[in-house]
Amino acid sequence: MRYVDEFRNPKLVKRIAAKISSINPGDQIDIMEVCGTHTQSFYRFGLRELLPKNVRLISGPGCPVCVSPQKYIDSAIELAKNKDVIIATFGDMLRMRGTNSSLEEEKTKFGNVYVVYSPLDALSIAKNNPRKRVVFLAVGFEATASAIALTILSAKKERIKNIFFLPSLKLIPPAIRYLLSDKRLKIDAFLCPGHVSAVIGTQDYEFIPKKYGKACCVAGFEPVDILEGICNILEQLILNKPYVANQYTRVVTKTGNTLARRVTNRVFGVRDSQWRGFGFIPDSGLELKKEFHVFDAKRAFSISDKKIKGKTISSCRCADILKGVMSPEDCPLFVRVCNPDNPIGPCMVSSEGTCNAYYRYR
């Protein structure tokens, strides 16, 4: 199968791993990836075992479900208790723990939580249930935002008045900037995400080498992709010439998908946004522009953050794991209490979460 088997070729994987060992700089190197699919692939294919012990790939805030704040989850759960509301959500959100419940539990009680595979599915639900108000939980990064924006434009064009969106849309470059500005974190380089970069391109990462002098490389998700990305980063470090490299050239360009960016900018404006474990990061989120406020669930249902408790479990260390300062096995809940069958923290819920991948593949 083209573009899959070639990038899982064992001989090629071993060859790149050998090259990585040959250019090993010797010092401890911490490379952060900020993509949940990278996290999953890295552990799934056992790539950790192929790297020198001093080269460490650490997971950052690359799972959109994981970085959605507790108050957002609680707001969605409160909406699910309304018998006149249908919640449409991606499956990963279903088992996220709120302060007192989860959408999965509310689905069992009220039967009004639907799992969808596309925001357009939510639009179909609204058309088929004209007497209900449908709320789509708009969670994701840049790649998801464009699809949600297109759905909102379709709803406006078709004059669908019973669909609303509860946004928790995040932007990756501001999160990287936030991580680099934190002097407590030791990050030597970034393995930049493929899906996000397919939309925004490589140009939005230029600040990483120019302002912070850090190496970075956009990479795909197969074993060869990830190892080539790491190899490129090590070469940058050896030469002390950081730049924005692009390993994923079969998908990612410098300027990205200009149409997708245009659609997103048509519907959404940039705002400060709260990330779980990080607090508010400047210019890191998206909100509906005034023209589209009629689709804003917060306005339609008078949702106020001040009324939502958003209480987290103090012993859960997902916040530290999202920053790359702690490994899942260092969390007191990991395995003992928290596992995929009983997820306590957000990093265990999604298949893209660090704890989930660590549990399944380590």
Summarize the confidence of residues 135-160 as an average pLDDT: 97
> Mean pLDDT for the chain?
93
pLDDT (tens digit, 9 = 90+) per residue, 289-317? 999 999 999 999 998 765 556 566 778 89
Summarize the confidence of residues 246-271 as an average pLDDT: 97
For the chain, give the longest Cα–Cα distance. 65
pLDDT (tens digit, 9 = 90+) per residue, 113-133? 999 999 999 999 999 999 999
pLDDT attached to residue 314: 76
pLDDT attached to residue 277: 84
**Whole-structure pTM value:** 0.93
Q: Helix %, strand %, coil % for the chain, to 5?
A: 45, 20, 35
pLDDT attached to residue 311: 67
| Top-tier CATH class for 5-62+172-246 | alpha beta
pLDDT attached to residue 33: 95
Nearest to 86 by CA among 121, 132, 118, 50: 132
Q: Taking 70 as the threshold, does the pLDDT of residue 1 lie above it? A: no
Q: Taking 90 as the threshold, does the pLDDT of residue 356 lie above it? A: yes
Share of the chain above pLDDT 90, in %: 78
Lowest mean pLDDT of 1-10, 117-126, 244-253, name the range.
1-10
Summarize the confidence of residues 54-83 as an average pLDDT: 92
Is pLDDT larger for residue 48 or for residue 184?
Answer: 48
How many Cα atoms occupy the beta-carbon half-sphere of 40 within 13 Å?
A: 16
- CATH, domain 65-171+256-307, list 2.60.120.10, 3.40.605.10, 3.40.50.11740, 3.40.50.1220: 3.40.50.11740
Tokens 């959408």 locate to 103
350 band by pLDDT with thresholds 50, 70 and 90: confident
For the record, the structure tokens of 182 come out as 């934190």
Q: Where in the chain is the domain with CATH 3.40.50.11750?
A: 5-62+172-246
pLDDT attached to residue 26: 79
Q: Where in the chain is the domain with CATH 3.40.50.11740?
A: 65-171+256-307
For the record, the structure tokens of 60 come out as 């950052």
